[in-house]
A = this chain, B = another copy of it.
């Protein structure tokens, strides 16, 4: 898989995400637009009051997948730089769990790339969220990442 340009920043952190540092990282004199996405902890989920969340990750693979998303975004959109950070561990209401910043010469690409990055992250990066309520905890519903075609199986079955 492609590796992201060294100008990109990909982080998993166990403390608060420093959003300003990520924005600073992507800002260059060549850019006319920076779009950011800040995913934050809501105080409720499906109508139940949330107390806090706990995120865990398959860290080495999550970092690799986040880097692949950054690389893919560069091939799909005329952008400049990408920064992606995801936080792990316990998060309180209002805290930022994921932050993505994309810089580009023009705004359309920055918006589209940032949206693509978070949509893809939610579908394909091995991170899991457990939601704690007053009466218990549940693993959040999620999405099954797409897996390569099962060509081996077809071959051995023929």
Q: Mark A residues whose CB is within 8 Å of B.
A: 19-20, 23, 27-44, 93-94, 105, 107, 110-111, 114-115, 118
Copy number in the complex reads 2
Residue of B nearest to A39 (CB): B33
Residues of B contacting A94 in the complex (Cβ-Cβ under 8 angstroms):
27-29
Residue of B nearest to A44 (CB): B30
How far is B35's CA from A19's CA once the two chains are assembled, in angstroms?
12
Q: With A27-B94, A29-B94 as known contacts, state yes or no: A39 contacts B107, CB within 8 Å.
A: yes
CB pair B36–A36 under 8 Å, yes or no, is yes
Q: List 11 A-B contacts (CB under 8 A).
A: A28-B94, A29-B43, A30-B43, A33-B38, A33-B40, A34-B38, A36-B36, A37-B110, A39-B107, A107-B115, A107-B118
Q: Which of B31, B37, B41 lies in contact with A107, CB distance below 8 A?
A: B37
> Separation in Å of the A55 CB from the closest CB of chain B?
14
> Separation in Å of the A92 CB from the closest CB of chain B?
10
Residue of B nearest to A29 (CB): B43
How far is B96's CA from A27's CA once the two chains are assembled, in angstroms?
10
Q: Which of B23, B107, B115 lies in contact with A111, CB distance below 8 A?
A: B115
Known: A30-B43, A31-B40, A32-B39. 18 other contacts (CB 8 A): A27-B40, A27-B94, A28-B94, A29-B42, A29-B43, A29-B93, A31-B42, A32-B42, A33-B39, A34-B36, A34-B40, A35-B35, A35-B38, A35-B114, A37-B111, A107-B115, A107-B118, A111-B111
